[in-house]
């Protein structure tokens, strides 16, 4: 069993997945609860966050019929930092071994980072051996000099520790801390898109997370601190209605493009206090929402231009996350970015497809996919350790029985001497 826990700004989602014999994932449990202790991806109230995690985990346990002991958790927020780095080492024996790969990655990550930052991921992009470039797996190749390009992702140590603290207070262990957009990429992007060049935009409640993939590797990550909560706040201010009613209106009636909204469709808007509800047109609501979505997309476009990858993503933009579900969100994105845009749903897991085929679950399904890959890597190591342990146990048993190191020749000599003495 693998468990993914998406601790978001608006809700906490817990998914329980089972790895089948063919290596595929089947989702067997889902738990969800509203989140009150998070703001823009950062914990602002530990008690509220702990309660939300407990409710979501308990619901997932009941559905899956199992006890959850540890989870893979997502992390996001404006504190996330990333950079591309380069390392060079000499190949020891003329052939690249696992030790050489580890050394070149260590050399690539030997860059100064702030003392309050914690490294979350070191993701290899490509390797160079002597003058040969574009190598994905250099193991076993001949050469003298090995180089590596890597993408390093770090987050504020205190922000990550607060998330881990909330999980541990629920009596759970942390198998891994995964960047939110990295998890979403695992469930929302195809391999062809990653190779060609694509930008994933995960628009949640608190942040809009960006991940740029090129040649099958992650090249740029960023966080824009404007997302769905700002849309809700705009509706609340413009229509003069409480936030909870503004959220309901956004989910039921809002449209990201005013040209797609029907002008004569009326909406009842609750007022503050004892005042009577008012009536507005859906088109007027769409005008308020469209302005904020244009701002979100413009900030993302500015980030892409600043990073230099705006002209290197021929596969276009892939949007996901709860806020991307709004009618007209993809159409407005195509207009702003002037490139192909598609709305993605997670498609890398079996079971409960009618429920998890929703952008809201992109990060949590991606956590399961990420966790299953780590389990595949760890399994061979466990098998090797098991065999080594068995050999060691046999050796210890032989030593215990004979009182010294086991020797078949010595035993045979003793038996021969015993028979000769009684003949």
- What's the whole-number mean pLDDT along residues 159-178? 93
CA distance 350 to 20: 10
Largest alpha-carbon pair distance within the chain? 116
Q: What's the confidence (pLDDT) of residue 194?
A: 94
Q: Which residues pair with 71 in a beta bridge?
A: 174
- What's the whole-number mean pLDDT along residues 247-275? 87
Q: Which of 185-189, 195-199, 385-389 has the lowest mean pLDDT?
A: 385-389
pLDDT higher at 33 or 346: 33
Closest by alpha carbon to 123, among 140, 138, 142, 136? 136
CA distance 48 to 45: 6
Q: What's the confidence (pLDDT) of residue 200?
A: 95
The answer on pLDDT for 78 being more than 70 is: yes
The answer on pLDDT for 410 being more than 60 is: no
Q: What's the confidence (pLDDT) of residue 167?
A: 94
- What's the whole-number mean pLDDT along residues 83-92? 93
Q: What's the confidence (pLDDT) of residue 275?
A: 82
Residues 271 and 242: beta-carbon distance below 8 Å: no
Q: What's the confidence (pLDDT) of residue 261?
A: 84
pLDDT tens by residue, 340-372: 999 988 876 666 667 788 899 999 999 998 888
The answer on pLDDT for 379 being more than 70 is: no
Q: What's the confidence (pLDDT) of residue 24?
A: 79
- What's the whole-number mean pLDDT along residues 182-202? 93
CA distance 314 to 255: 28
CA distance 270 to 415: 98
pLDDT tens by residue, 106-149: 999 988 888 889 999 999 999 999 989 989 999 999 999 999 99
DSSP line for 16-66? EEEE-TTS-EEEEEEEEEE--SEETTEES-HHHHHHHHHHHHHHHHHHHTS
- What's the whole-number mean pLDDT along residues 22-44? 87
Q: What's the confidence (pLDDT) of residue 377?
A: 59
**Strand-strand pairing, 173-179 and 70-75:** parallel
CA distance 394 to 400: 10
pLDDT higher at 392 or 165: 165
Q: What is the mean pLDDT of the chain?
A: 85
Buried residues in 400-412 as b, exposed as e (16+ CB within 10 A) = eeeeeeeeeeeee
DSSP line for 358-403? SGGGHHHHHHHHHHHHHHHHHHHHHHHHHHHHHHHHHHHHHHHHHS
Q: Which of 73-77, 98-102, 253-257, 372-376 has the lowest mean pLDDT?
A: 372-376
- In degrees to the nearest 10, what's the CA dihedral of 369, 370, 372, 377? 150
Contacts of 131 (CB under 8 A, 6+ apart): none
Q: What's the confidence (pLDDT) of residue 277?
A: 86
Rg of the chain over Cα atoms, rounded to whole angstroms, equals 27
CA distance 33 to 206: 16
pLDDT tens by residue, 230-246: 999 999 999 999 999 99
Structural domains of the chain sorted by starting position, each given as residue range(s) with its CATH number in brackets: 1-79+156-189+346-417 (3.30.420.40), 81-155 (3.30.1490.110), 190-343 (3.30.420.40)
CA dist list (Å): 352 to 15, 60, 74: 11, 13, 21
The answer on pLDDT for 393 being more than 50 is: no
Look up the pTM and report it.
Answer: 0.82
């Amino acid at each position: 069993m693998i468990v993914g826990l998406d601790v978001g700004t608006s809700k906490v989602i817990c998914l329980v997945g089972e790895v089948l014999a063919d290596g595929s994932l089947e989702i067997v449990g889902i738990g969800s609860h509203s989140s009150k202790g998070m703001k823009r991806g950062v914990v602002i109230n530990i008690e509220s966050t702990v309660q939300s995690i407990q409710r979501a985990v308990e619901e997932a346990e009941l559905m899956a019929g199992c006890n959850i002991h540890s989870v893979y958790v997502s992390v996001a927020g404006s504190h996330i930092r990333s950079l591309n780095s380069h390392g060079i080492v000499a190949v020891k024996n003329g052939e690249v071994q696992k030790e050489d790969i580890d050394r070149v990655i260590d050399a690539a990550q030997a860059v100064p980072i702030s003392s309050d930052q914690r490294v979350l991921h070191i993701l290899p992009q490509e390797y160079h051996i002597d003058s040969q470039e574009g190598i994905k797996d250099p193991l076993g190749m001949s050469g003298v000099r090995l180089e590596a390009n890597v993408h390093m992702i770090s987050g504020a140590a205190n922000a990550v520790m607060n998330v881990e603290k909330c999980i541990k207070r629920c009596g759970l262990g942390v198998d891994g801390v995964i960047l939110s957009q990295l998890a979403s990429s695992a469930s929302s992007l195809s391999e062809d898109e990653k190779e060609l060049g694509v930008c994933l935009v995960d628009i949640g409640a608190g942040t809009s997370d960006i991940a740029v993939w090129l040649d099958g590797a992650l090249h740029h990550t960023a966080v824009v601190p404007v997302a769905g909560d700002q849309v809700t706040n705009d509706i609340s201010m413009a229509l003069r209605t409480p936030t909870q009613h503004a959220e309901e209106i956004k989910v039921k009636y809002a449209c990201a493009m005013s040209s797609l909204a029907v002008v004569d469709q009326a909406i009842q808007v609750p007022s503050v206090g004892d005042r009577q509800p008012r009536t507005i047109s859906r088109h007027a609501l769409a005008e308020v929402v469209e302005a904020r979505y244009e701002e979100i997309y413009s900030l993302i476009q500015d980030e892409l231009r600043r990073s230099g990858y705006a002209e290197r993503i021929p596969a276009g933009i892939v949007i996901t996350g709860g806020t991307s579900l709004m009618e007209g969100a993809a159409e407005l994105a195509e207009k702003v970015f002037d490139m192909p845009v598609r709305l993605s749903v997670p498609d890398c897991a079996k079971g409960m497809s009618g429920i998890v085929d929703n952008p809201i679950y992109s990060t949590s399904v991606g956590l399961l996919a990420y966790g299953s890959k780590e389990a595949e890597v760890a399994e061979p190591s466990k098998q090797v350790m098991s065999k080594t342990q068995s050999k060691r146990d046999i050796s210890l048993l032989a030593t215990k029985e004979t009182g010294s190191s086991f020797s078949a020749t010595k035993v045979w000599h003793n038996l021969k001497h015993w028979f000769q003495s009684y003949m």
